[in-house]
Amino acid sequence: MEEVASLTRQSRSILHEWAQAAEHGAAAKGPVHYNLGRRRYWRRSDVEKWLESRRVEVPGRHG
């Protein structure tokens, strides 16, 4: 979770809140995750895909 928090620049509590909401049927706000026992895990590729889906292109800006 620490690495996901760092990559997404979101707090652990927000990641937990998003994951819990998704587990209860709400539209996912965060990256896809897995529950293994009592722990949550994220694949790096899923986190990167989620980040890319939030990319905003600003006309006239490059970078």
Q: What is the pLDDT along the chain (63 residues), one digit of tens a residue?
A: 999 999 999 999 999 999 999 999 999 899 999 999 999 999 999 999 999 999 998 888 766
CA dihedral 32, 34, 39, 43 (to 10 degrees): -70
State how far the Cα of 2 lies from the Cα of 14, in Å rounded to an integer: 12
Residue 8 corresponds to which tokens in the numbers above?
């997404």
Task: Look up the pTM and report it.
Answer: 0.80
The burial class, CB within 10 Å (0-12 / 13-18 / 19+), for 37 is exposed
Map tokens 């989620």 to a residue. Answer: 50
